[in-house]
Amino acid sequence: MIARKVLKKRKRRRMSKMSELIWGSIMVLYLFLGGLAGGSFTVGALADLLNKKEYRTFTKAGILSSFVSILVGLVMLIFDLKRFDVAPIGILHVYTRFPDSIMSVGTWIITAFTLVSLFTVLIWFLDGDVMIRKILEVVGVVLGLSTAAYTGILLSFARGVPVWQSGFLPWLFVLSGLLTGIALSIIVIPIAGLLMPRAFADFKAIWDSKKRFAGLIEYTDRYAQSLIVVETVVMLLYFLTTPSTSILWWGSGVSVYFYAYLLLALAAPLAIAIYDMKLLEEGKHETVTYLTLLAIILALMGGYLLRYVILIGGQMLY
């Protein structure tokens, strides 16, 4: 009886905190889109910088995905903060606090990254100068990784939430950003190619040739498998070195989401990627294609759930 009363009391406390969250689901989505933007730009740019000419479509998809993701994330953040309702010009003051404020540093990084992403998209789709494009890609990789890391650094600088006080959190968000960036860059190819076949003729061409699309999957799967393993290791280190994180996987309202993250973002995509290798040896390109699309959807859902567990869970528990 006593145990039941304690559990009920804890549940009521968690529900009360849920209604008092400072950062809610829109901020979770912003963190997710920030990591997604940094990750998709990085993987796309690296494919080009490493002279993988046969994967130009993947690069274009990654750069385009990055710009759209960061733009949508910024719009959502601005309206979530409701600054335009109170002081429209006040939002610009954050730029003046550089470098004393981590939020100001992050704002400058994200602003620079958004501009670099925009110019890179324009150069790619307007067939601009190759040297300028590659310079922008090098700068964009640095800014993209910084953007993905900043989403974790922002939380680690927050006071009073032990779950966020970890040097492993930014690394965890970077790895998740890279993994979901690969996923988004691949799935954008059939989406853009089918919805706008004239504007994205090269996207549609690689999608129509399941053998070429499967070749792209084979190339990216090698890196995805490594990233999943490294992300799993960093997750373990985060749990082992950060106070009170055990409550995220046991005894709290976000526990089920944490296990869903482990399944959707890590276990299922890794299993599918390994199985893909076998199917590719057998020449089953179409099966590989649709299995990978399933893995991509799961990975994107898992990447969102990671931010949800860390952000919402941290506020519910403290």
pLDDT in tens, 154-198: 888 877 788 888 889 999 999 999 999 999 999 999 999 999 999
Domains recognised in the chain with CATH numbers: 22-317 (1.20.1630.10)
Q: How far apart are CA 301 and CA 140, in angstroms?
A: 25
Residue 230 burial by Cβ neighbours in a 10 Å radius (0-12, 13-18, 19+): middle
- Please tell me the predicted confidence (pLDDT) of residue 100: 66
Which mean pLDDT values do the consecutive 10-residue runs of the chain (318 residues) have? Answer: 39 48 80 95 94 86 96 82 53 66 85 96 92 96 95 82 88 96 96 93 92 92 95 93 79 83 95 93 92 96 94 77
Token output for 5: 């009363």
3: left (phi over 0), alpha (psi -120 to 50) or beta: alpha
Q: How far apart are CA 164 and CA 6, in angstroms?
A: 26
- Please tell me the predicted confidence (pLDDT) of residue 271: 96
Q: Among 109, 80, 79, which residue's Cα sits nearest to residue 94?
A: 109
Q: What is the rounded average pLDDT for all residues in the chain?
A: 86
Supply the DSSP symbol for 264: I
